[in-house]
Amino acid sequence: MLKNPIKTALAAGIALLVAASTAVQAQAQGYPSKPIRFVVSFPPGGVSDRLARVLGQHMQENWGQPVIIENRPGGSGFIASQAVATSAPDGHTLLLGNINTHAINSALFAKLPYDPVKDFAPISLLISVPNLLLVHPSVQANSVSELVALAKARPRSLTYASAGSGTSTHMSAELLKAASGIEIVHVPYKGPPPALQALLAGEVNLYFETIASSLQLVKAGRVKAFAITSLNRSPLAPDIPTVAESGLPGFDVAPWFGALTRAGTPGEIVNRLNAEMVRIVNQTEVRATFAAQGVTILATTPDAFAKYIDQEIARWTRVVKETGARAD
């Protein structure tokens, strides 16, 4: 008797699906099977680097595989992002993405060497931390309003550092410019540490940096802090007003960081990474450590993080269009 070709094809298809599913499950159960690379788009020393190292340490202790933190700064996050976007889709190469790599860049640059949506599998949104508007002590101003008045009296005489074009430190200043009508000159650096050092040395007049990395410098009197970029004041520095309440209503920039891996990575592996990272950042001692730095924990599901990225891309596309910001 001749076999029904349709039934034969369906049976073969089902068999292939079952085999593929079994292979994926086996891969997920054996994960991680080798060292994990955790790529960070900033140099060592900043809040993103500290977060990656905390995650890496706990993952290594729990899973028994080395987690190698790979700092690949520069290029507005292009270098780090592309390294993960072109990696094997097996969950062994991770990216600590952020507001720059997965929101601002797509709005600011006409062409990227990676697609922030199609090339990545979101794992979890992890933290958010506001910036402080820092000013060198030599600047003859002591508040946002006085800084704006000085900048208007002397157009393009004041300079501001950034951690690179497309970073939240860059866009915070662009929003300040657009909202207040001032002209200040952008001086980009390769990451937060050199930008902060430039401010401390008096090479530039102002810089937006995370409260986690700068508050101690403010308390030591090495820089002045005029405002915080979030909508609410920080409990760590309740005397520092928000930019919004300093005469620029609606101003809100809260840099965020989250973990991603290569698109096409099996969902079981993504979910395992999500569960592990959420477990780590929700530990009491980890939450306390980051809270002491002004950092808010924002652990999410992969789907929630994917939707958040879409929303942020749309938001920063509007901001870039409204401010006329450009990459320098």
Count of H-run helices and E-run strands, the chain: 11, 11
| 179-195 confidence digits (pLDDT tens) | 999 999 999 998 888 99
Domain boundaries along the sequence of the chain = 35-128+255-323, 131-246
- Hey, which residues does 37 pair with through a beta bridge? 68, 93
Q: Which residue has the tokens 């298809």?
A: 13
The CATH number fitting domain 131-246, selected from 3.40.50.300, 3.30.70.60, 3.40.190.10, 3.40.47.10: 3.40.190.10
Q: What is the mean pLDDT of the segment spanning 260-285?
A: 98
Q: 120-128 and 256-262 as β-strands: parallel, antiparallel, unpaired?
A: antiparallel
- Fold: same for 35-128+255-323 and 131-246: yes
Give the pLDDT of residue 173: 95
Token pair belonging to 95: 């990216």
**126 neighbors 259 (Cβ within 8 angstroms):** yes
Give the pLDDT of residue 27: 57
pLDDT band at 101 (very low <50, low <70, confident <90, very high): very high
Q: At 24, phi and psi to the nearest 5?
A: -65, -45
User: Residue 56, exposed/middle/buried by CB under 10 A (0-12, 13-18, 19+)?
Assistant: buried
Question: Would you say how long the chain is, in residues?
Answer: 328
| 280-321 confidence digits (pLDDT tens) | 999 999 999 999 999 999 999 999 999 999 999 999 998 898
Give the pLDDT of residue 21: 46
Q: What secondary structure letter does DSSP report for 324?
A: T
The pTM assigned to this predicted structure is 0.84
Give the Cα-Cα-Cα angle 249, 251, 255 (nearest 5 degrees).
160
CATH node for 35-128+255-323: 3.40.190.150
Token pair belonging to 139: 């600047």
Positive or negative CA dihedral for 60, 256, 131, 153? positive
User: Residue 221, exposed/middle/buried by CB under 10 A (0-12, 13-18, 19+)?
Assistant: exposed
Positive or negative CA dihedral for 318, 323, 326, 328? negative
Radius of gyration of the chain (CA): 22
Give the pLDDT of residue 3: 58
